[in-house]
Amino acid sequence: MKSNALRIVLYHIPPIAQIGISIELTARLREAFPGVIVGVKDSSGKIESMEAFAKAFENFSVLAGADPFMLPLLRSGGAGCITSSSNLIGKHLRVVFDNWFDPAQSEKVEAAQARINAWRDLSNAYVQLPTIKAMLAKRRNHSGWTRVRPPLLELTEAERDVVWGQMAKLEAEDRV
């Protein structure tokens, strides 16, 4: 029995899985399960991979796994992004998403993209997931956010202080 409610977004993350989801496999899955395979989150770190997915299929959402790729992917027919740092920079991502296609908004979009990139650079200062969690702990004023599961380790107090100091600078710049 085929469900009309089931929708699947594939997760292409070869740096972790050690093998990617090919366009050929995606085509076979879409053929075998019409209307079910509706997109892919591409965390390959390669815009060429994201663009290839976007060009290969109609009615298929290609989502960047890293914020700096959202704007170029949108320009290449992609649908947006799914990222951990979107919990911190949603307002900047929204500006890009809402205005990327409007030449009159290009300065606003480029400024938002620069902010996205600055926050992404900070999230990569140490191991990304513990860094994002430390950033959320600061933003939410709740130390529970710093917890991670093995094999990951929380940032040290010194590392957190560095990240939180840089966050304060970025937040001050965001208010300007």
Q: What is the pLDDT of residues 12-55, one digit of tens each?
A: 999 889 999 999 999 999 999 999 999 999 999 999 999 999 99
Q: Is 1 a residue whose pLDDT tops 60?
A: no
Q: Tell me the pLDDT tens digit for each residue of 81-132.
A: 999 889 899 999 999 999 999 999 999 999 999 999 999 999 999 999 999 9
Q: Is 6 a residue whose pLDDT tops 60?
A: yes
Mean of the per-residue pLDDT values for the chain?
Answer: 95
| Beta strands across the sheet bearing 8-12 | 8-12, 37-42, 61-64, 80-81
Residue 44 in contact with residue 25, Cβ under 8 Å? no
Question: What are the sequence ranges of the domains in the chain?
Answer: 1-83, 85-176
Q: From start to end of 43-168, where are the E strands?
A: 61-64, 80-81
Cα–Cα distance measured from residue 48 to residue 99, given in angstroms and rounded to the nearest whole number: 23
pLDDT the model gives residue 3 = 56
| Residue entry with tokens 């700096």 | 68
One-letter amino acid for residue 11 of the chain: Y
pLDDT the model gives residue 175 = 84
CA 54 to each of CA 62, 90, 114, 159: distance values in angstroms, whole numbers, following the listed order: 6, 23, 24, 38
pLDDT the model gives residue 29 = 98
Q: Tell me the pLDDT tens digit for each residue of 45-72.
A: 999 999 999 999 999 999 999 999 999 9
Angle, alpha carbons 59-98-62 (nearest 5°): 30
pLDDT band at 2 (very low <50, low <70, confident <90, very high): low
Kindly state the DSSP code that residue 104 receives in the 8-state scheme: G
